[in-house]
Structure formats: C-alpha cells, structure tokens
Chain A
Amino acid sequence: MRVANLLPDIQYQMQQSQQALATATEQVSTGLRVNQLSDDPAASANMVRSLAYSANVDQYTSNVSSVIPQMQTADSAISSIVTSLNTAVTLGTEGANGTNSTQDKQEIATQVQSILSNVIAQANTSFQGVYVFGGSDSTTPPFVPASTTYTSSQGSTASPLATTTALTAGSVTTISDATTGKTMTYTAVAGDTVATLQAAIASKVSDGTLSVGTSATINANGQLQVGTNSATAGIVVSSNDAVLGTMNAAPGTEVANAYAYVGNSSINTVQIGDSMNAATNVPGNQLFTSGSNVIGSLSNLITTLQSGTTTQIGAATEAVTSALNYLDQQRVPLDNTMTQLNSQESYLGQEKVTLTTQQTALVGINMADAATNLSQAQLNNSAVLAAAAKIMPQTLLDYLK
C-alpha cells in the first residue's frame, strides 16, 4: 500500500494513548472503576439498589438505638413497681396479723398508700416527653385519679339536656373504670341520642366492663351526669362531643386511692429489619389494670386495712401477690423485644459491612490495579510520543543535496 503521509496515523495513536492515560488517571484519583454511568450501566443500576438497601440498614440501626433507651426506661419502671409490690405484700401480711390494733392497721394503710402513689408515678413514666405506658396515646399521663361523678359542661337549668338530645355523629365518649380496670369507648352514629348512650352504658355494666351501679342521667341542672353511685368506685369520663361539651369531675367526688387508665391498647411498632418489626411498648392496662389488676388490688388493700376484717386483709394481700405474678408474665414481651433489639443491632452491623463490600466490588477498583494501569498507560504514552518524534520530521528533502 502506498503511504502518503504518516501524520494522521500518528495523531490517531496519540489520541488513543492520551485517552487511556486520562482514564487510568481518573481511576487512580477517584478509586472508582465506574466514574460515570456509561462506564458500566449494569453496575450503576445495581449500585442504586445496593445504596437503597444500605440506607435502610442505616435507618434500622438508628431505630434500634432510638428505641432501646425508651424500653429500658419502661423496664426499669416495671422493676421499681415489682419492688414496691413486694413491699406491699410484706405490709399486707403484717396487717393481716390478728394482733394489730386499728391504729396499727391505719399506719400500715398509710404506708401502702405511699407505695400506691409511687406505683402510679412509675406507671406515668415518660421518656423524652412520651408516656411509655399509655399504649399509642402517649401524649398525656395514662393513669389519672378517678371520681365518682362526672358532669357535662353543656346543659343548664335554662337549656337542659334531655334523653332525646341528639349526639354528634362520630364523636367519642370514654368511661374508664378504676375498679374493673376496663374502659368503655362509645362512638356515636347518626341518630344516636343521650338515651342511646344510657343504654350502651347499661350494657357495659352487664358485661362487667363498668362497675355495677354506673349510669348516666340528666341531673337537676340539666347536665348529663355519669356516676358510679358508690362512694368507693371511681371513674374517669371524657368526651369530644360538642353537644356535651367537656366532661369534668364533680368537685368533692374524687375517690381516694382510685386511679383509672385513660390510654388505649394499641401497640406501636418500629421497623428494625426488612421484614422485622419490634413492638415498642406494652400498654399500661395490659400491665397494671388487667388480670389481677396491680393498681386495683393495691387500692383494695388500703381500703381493707383502713376498715376491713383480718380475713379481708388477708384476701386483699393474696390479690396483690397474684397481681405481682401476673405483672411478671406481662413484662416478658418487653424483655423479649429488648433481646431481639440487641441481637438485631449486631446483625445490622454485619449487613452494613457486606453491603459496603458489595458496593466496592461493583464500582470500585483495587488501588494496586489502578496504579499499575496508570504506569502502564504512562509507559505506552511515552513510547508513542517518542516514536512520533523520531518519525515525523524525516522526509527525503532532508537527505537531498
């Protein structure tokens, strides 16, 4: 083949070796084999997925760290309550001793009262503003003092409420009972009246949710009045129905040592793994007012110490012991979740390492390889340039005289 001019070829070779040099330099300075999407589209796409997994793992780890202290707070509150209950049992046993005088029993009752206050304070524990034992209703204290009677803010002698007064559809009225430890939640539907509410309350009394004797009436002032008709049984009533206004405890009707649960039974979950959710709370009613009813049994013990027989005191003390055993069972899910969180924490740490390694494999380049490539490219480039320098200037004219 006739060769007219070497220059275009030389230029092309130089361009190629410059390109290789540029690529090698970029790889060394970034440590990445894939510096733009076009370098390896499949690896880039996989990288997107891998980074999404990494972000999830980071979040799960963060969730675990956030949740553990909250659960530890709950756990230590329960431990404190268990200690208090043990003391109460001791006191109760002492009180059931037939040799005690009334004054002795009063003193013991006072001590049990302060234990109960302590237990309530612990049950109302909060962690960074979140009440840990309120179920998902964590913005207000879950255990509040109960009263015998609540009256509505709406209604007066001039414009009284009546059994025929219609209630707002969708409004919710709750009655929490300190003695049974249970809550009635009533949601009004269109067409409901005060009479419907009365009937609902009656049915809840029959099924044991509310204490016997609890009822709703229209009082002399034209207000809706919900009461237990018993000086020793307390309730807490609330409503968001504008027709009723707010429900307030009637002054002077507070029942000593009676507390009702105004939270709910919902459990919040937090995701700590791709298909793993941790329950982050145990509702207060599940722990302290259901089954043998920690709070109720303490209240009862105080009452029997103040005015009951030795047999009754003995029975009340038994009830506290049962409540304690029940609590021990109910705290198990909490402990299990703590264990789960701890082991998940170390698993997530491993996952993170695996993902990071995977990402490096996808788009990274081994530094040794990159450095070798660079020196090879430099060598090639120098060779091309040297060859070009040798060849380019020579023509026949240099040699003709």
Chain B
Amino acid sequence: MGSLSSSLSIAVQSLNAASGSLQAANNNIANVNTPGYTRKVPILEEMAPVNEGNFSAGRGVELEGYQSVRDELLQNQIQQETQAQSGANAQLASLQQIQPTFTTSTQDIGTQMSALFSSISSLSTNPSSATSRQAVLTAGQNLVTAFNTASNTLTAQQAGLNTQVSQDVSQINQLTQQIAALNPQIAELKATGQDGGTLQDQQDQLVLSLSKLTSVAVTQGTDGETLTTENGTPLVVGSKSFSLQTTTGSDGMTHVLDQSGTDITSSLTGTSSLTGGDLGGTIQTRDTTIPGLLSQLDTLANKFGNAFNTVQALGYDQNGNKGGEFFTLPATPAPAVPPAADPYPGAAANIKMAITDPTQIAASSDGTAGDNLNLARFSALSAASIVSGQTPSDAYASLVYQVGSLTSNANAESTATTSSLAQLNNQLSSVSGVSIDEESANLITFQQAYEAAARVVSTIQELFTVTMSMGTAAAE
C-alpha cells in the first residue's frame, strides 16, 4: 500500500535523477570540442521494489552514476595508426628537405658531371687554348662544389635530427611521468566499480600524445596501465615512470638509453620501417636512410675522382711534365670486417681540385704540346662502368631514383595513415563523441521528466494540505 510520503520520496528521487541527467547532458554539451572527451550517459536504475505480501510497490528511479562510453579496442587501433603516421611524417619531412639537392638544376651533380665532360670535349678541338683549359678547371671546381654541397646537406639533416631526438626524448619523459601520476588515481576509482571517467580520458590523451612520439605497447593491470616500448623497455609501471636518457655516441649521433643505461636506439625504429612514431621515424632516417644515401654519394665521388686521377697520370701537361692528380680525395680506410656501411667516408664532403694552373691539365698523350689524345681517355670515362659497374651518369640516376622513391613511399604512407586515422576517428566519435543534436533532445527529455516530477510534487503537496485539513472547518 502506498502512502503519500512514499510517493513524495519517489517524486524527489525523480527530480534528483532528472536533474542529474540534465547535468550529464549539460556536461556533454560543454565538452563537445574537448579533445579526447568521451560522452557520459547517466545510469538510471529502477530502485528495488518493496514487497508486502502479494503487493509489490516500485520505489522509483535511482541515478546510479555516470558511464563513459568508450571503445578501448578502437583507442588502441588509433594509437597504432598515430604511431605509423608520425613515423611516416618524420621521414617525409627530412626527405623533402633532401630532395631539392638531387633535383635536376644548373648545380646538381648530374648537370656538373656533364658540364665537365663537355668542357673536356671542347678542349680537345684546341688543346692549347688557355680559355678552354681554364673552362675545364672551372667545370671541375663546380662539380667538386656540387659534391660538397650534397654531402653537407645530408650531414646537416642528421645534425638537425639529433636535436629532434633529444626533444622527443624529453617530451616522452614528461608524458610518462604524467601518465604514471594518473595510474593510482584511476585504479582507486576502478576499485570501487566506477569507470575512470575524466581521469581516464586524460590518460588516454596522454597515451595518444606519447604514441605520436614513439611506439608503445599498452597493457591493463590492477594498478593501472603498463606501458613499454615495442621491444619491452618499461616506460610506466603502476605509479612509477622510467625516464629515457640521451647521450652522444662515438659516431657523433645522439643515442637513446633506458634508465639502466642500455642503448636502445636501434630498437626504437619499430618492427616495420614506418612505425615507431616521430622518434622512430627520426632515428630510421638518421641512422639508416641518410647513411645509405651518403654511402652511394661517397662511392660516386671516390670512383669518379680516382678514374680522373688515373687518366691524368697517363698523360702530359702543357709543360711536358707527366700529369699528377686531377682531384684530391681523402684516403680510403682499410676495409672493415664486417664491411662498413660507407666504404669511402668523407669522399664527397672532402673532394677538392688538385690542380689550379690550367697548364697542368694532362691533355697530351706523348708530351707534344698540341696533342689531344689523352683528352679522349677522359671523355671515355663518361661511358665507362667506373662506379660499381655503372657509368657515372647511371650511378647518379640510381641515386636520384632512390631519393625519389623513398620520398614517394613516405608520402604514400603518410597519406594512407591520415586517411585511415580519419576513418578510425570517425568510428570512435560515433561511439564516444558528443552529438549536440542528441544532447539537445536529451535536454528536452530530461526537462520534461523534471517538470513531470515537479508537478507530482506539487500535486502531493496539495493532497497533503487536503489531508491535513480533513475534519476541520476549512474542509467543508
């Protein structure tokens, strides 16, 4: 049997539930543009009924709490895709800066090699011409400058990437600290059966920011999320975070160490070359991509220079002396075991002209002034397989292709991951995103519920008044 006071308490419960739900809708609308916000829905449960014999009376509604609508699997996928995108973008940014050096222009290596061969051919029509001889030296100098510039562009990129590594590591350390600080707080909430709510949202955003920087593996545990790098180096365990350190290695590059001092640099590039976040992509570019290009460049410079020196030594200059060197090259170090990545380090950076006096060009094959037959040997180099089985121009074309296709691949990966991320974010927003239209409709729903409950309260109030005045003069 119901009573007015139990009806009143049901109505009050309703008011409570409605105003609580309004608050949830309000909170959602307020946070419509907050990044990483998952919408909260009020959990309304019917209160357990009261049983009196055969009579079962409901006791109204209870607002149990608020539930964040999450999809952890999607979150995880987004983290992975973000890693891939950041890794690709890091590579792309570097390569786009390197590309112009190898693009055909008036100063690129290919054009200057052609110019040198042209100047030599031109000299062959009049080997005694001082102007033509000077032109050969100028062309040689231009080629040397082109080699030097290309090499310097690559090494300057590496230096810039070193700075990037340091910055990324310090950001990673900040983020892991923040994530670790949240773990105990979230664990507490979960222990009481609630969901992590706003704190979990915050932590997820931090993990997403971290994913941009490096590849992380996330596992859930009783003391919160455990984060490690892809190969197991711990970053966050419970309330503790583990900092990474940087140090300059013997190769002059910035290396990343874990907290115990182990060098983990090469493991950060990820399992395929384009995951690993910004740090992984940066390390990949700095330690694999650029050295590969440098090696090809140095080989070209070394073989080209040595071939020219060999021909120069076969001939005689205008003073009747045997030719010396045409180009100066740095000494080639002894072959290392296992073979070094770059067998001719510094060749392109340090190649210089060995002759400054035009009369020293060894044009003559037999010492006669006016003989041009040694020039034919120089010219023959343009079609000779002097660079690891390729002609100089083919070797340069290969290098150009390499740079172009690396950039093109990074670009494709960047585009693909961006598109993928757009899709995934769509899906996530479909689950967790706030729809203003929906919340507006909810506002109306809960407003009506509130109004209805309020009306019940005022009805009951009137009934109370009637009841109280029963049996008094006013009731007549």
Using CB atoms and an 8 Å cutoff, list the residues of chain A in contact with chain B.
Answer: 1-5, 8-9, 12, 36-42, 44-49, 51-52, 55-56, 58-60, 62-63, 66-67, 70, 128-130, 134-139, 264, 266, 268-271, 274, 277, 280, 395-397, 400
B371 touches A48 (CB 8 A): no
Q: Which of A8, A41, A46, A58 contacts B422 (CB under 8 A)? A: A8
Interface string of B385-412 (1 = CB under 8 A from A): 0000000011011101101110110010
Q: Across the interface, which residues of B come within 8 angstroms of A136, CB to CB?
A: 364, 366, 368, 370-373
Q: Across the interface, which residues of B come within 8 angstroms of A269, CB to CB?
A: 124, 372-373, 376
* SS of B interface (majority): helix
* B127 to A, closest residue via Cβ: A268
Q: Across the interface, which residues of A come within 8 angstroms of B373, CB to CB?
A: 136, 266, 268-269
CA distance A2 to B398 in the complex (A): 51
Query: Is residue B117 contacting chain A, with contact meaning CB distance below 8 A?
Result: yes
CA distance A208 to B440 in the complex (A): 120
A51 touches B440 (CB 8 A): no
A280 touches B125 (CB 8 A): yes
Q: How far is the CB of A286 from chain B (nearest CB, A)?
A: 16
Q: Across the interface, which residues of B come within 8 angstroms of A264, CB to CB?
A: 368
A134 touches B397 (CB 8 A): no
- Given known contacts A3-B430, A51-B111, A269-B376, A38 and B102 CB-to-CB distance under 8 angstroms: no
CA distance A66 to B437 in the complex (A): 82
Q: How far is the CB of B419 from chain A (nearest CB, A)?
A: 8
Q: How far is the CB of B341 from chain A (nearest CB, A)?
A: 22
* B421 to A, closest residue via Cβ: A12
A5 touches B434 (CB 8 A): yes
Q: How far is the CB of B311 from chain A (nearest CB, A)?
A: 15
A48 touches B393 (CB 8 A): yes
* B132 to A, closest residue via Cβ: A66
Highest count of chain A CB atoms <10 Å: which of B110, B125, B369, B404:
B125
Q: How many positions in chain B have a CB within 8 Å of any CB in the partner chain?
A: 65
Q: How far is the CB of B17 from chain A (nearest CB, A)?
A: 23
CA distance A138 to B369 in the complex (A): 7
- Given known contacts A37-B404, A44-B404, A55-B117, A2 and B435 CB-to-CB distance under 8 angstroms: yes
Q: List 25 A-B contacts (CB under 8 A).
A: A1-B430, A5-B434, A36-B103, A37-B99, A37-B400, A41-B400, A44-B104, A49-B394, A49-B397, A51-B114, A52-B114, A55-B117, A56-B114, A58-B118, A135-B368, A136-B368, A136-B370, A138-B370, A268-B370, A269-B124, A269-B376, A270-B124, A271-B124, A271-B376, A274-B383
B437 touches A395 (CB 8 A): yes
CA distance A397 to B124 in the complex (A): 85
B422 touches A45 (CB 8 A): no
Query: Is residue B262 contacting chain A, with contact meaning CB distance below 8 A?
Result: no
CA distance A44 to B434 in the complex (A): 49
Known: A55-B114, A270-B125. 7 other contacts (CB 8 A): A5-B434, A8-B425, A36-B99, A41-B405, A62-B122, A67-B125, A136-B372
CA distance A67 to B126 in the complex (A): 9
CA distance A395 to B376 in the complex (A): 80
CA distance A122 to B108 in the complex (A): 48
- Given known contacts A47-B104, A268-B372, A37 and B403 CB-to-CB distance under 8 angstroms: yes
Q: Across the interface, which residues of A come within 8 angstroms of B128, CB to CB?
A: 129-130, 138-139
B430 touches A139 (CB 8 A): no
- Given known contacts A48-B393, A58-B118, A266-B368, A9 and B435 CB-to-CB distance under 8 angstroms: no
* B121 to A, closest residue via Cβ: A59
Q: Which of B111, B121, B124, B435 contacts A4 (CB under 8 A)? A: B435
Query: Is residue B444 contacting chain A, with contact meaning CB distance below 8 A?
Result: yes
Q: How far is the CB of B15 from chain A (nearest CB, A)?
A: 23
Interface string of B421-461 (1 = CB under 8 A from A): 01001110111111111101100100000000000000000
Interface string of B89-130 (1 = CB under 8 A from A): 000000110011011100000110111011001101111100
A55 touches B115 (CB 8 A): yes
CA distance A134 to B408 in the complex (A): 58
B404 touches A4 (CB 8 A): no
Q: Across the interface, which residues of A come within 8 angstroms of B26, CB to CB?
A: none
Query: Is residue B379 contacting chain A, with contact meaning CB distance below 8 A?
Result: yes
Q: Which of B39, B371, B404, B429 contacts A38 (CB under 8 A)? A: B404
A59 touches B372 (CB 8 A): no
CA distance A51 to B113 in the complex (A): 11
Q: Across the interface, which residues of A come within 8 angstroms of B379, CB to CB?
A: 271
Question: Which 7 pairs from chain A and chain B are nearest by CB?
Answer: A4-B433, A41-B404, A37-B404, A138-B370, A55-B114, A136-B371, A38-B407
Q: Across the interface, which residues of B come within 8 angstroms of A60, CB to CB?
A: 121
Q: Across the interface, which residues of A come within 8 angstroms of B438, CB to CB?
A: 4
B122 touches A63 (CB 8 A): yes
B370 touches A134 (CB 8 A): yes
* A62 to B, closest residue via Cβ: B122
B437 touches A52 (CB 8 A): no
B372 touches A45 (CB 8 A): no
Q: Across the interface, which residues of A come within 8 angstroms of B32, CB to CB?
A: 5
Q: Across the interface, which residues of A come within 8 angstroms of B444, CB to CB?
A: 400
CA distance A231 to B39 in the complex (A): 123
Q: How far is the CB of A344 from chain B (nearest CB, A)?
A: 14
CA distance A400 to B115 in the complex (A): 75
* A129 to B, closest residue via Cβ: B128
Q: Across the interface, which residues of B come within 8 angstroms of A8, CB to CB?
A: 422, 425-426, 429
A137 touches B117 (CB 8 A): no
CA distance A396 to B32 in the complex (A): 15
CA distance A395 to B124 in the complex (A): 80
B397 touches A66 (CB 8 A): no
A48 touches B110 (CB 8 A): yes
B118 touches A55 (CB 8 A): yes
B368 touches A395 (CB 8 A): no
Q: Across the interface, which residues of A come within 8 angstroms of B124, CB to CB?
A: 63, 268-271
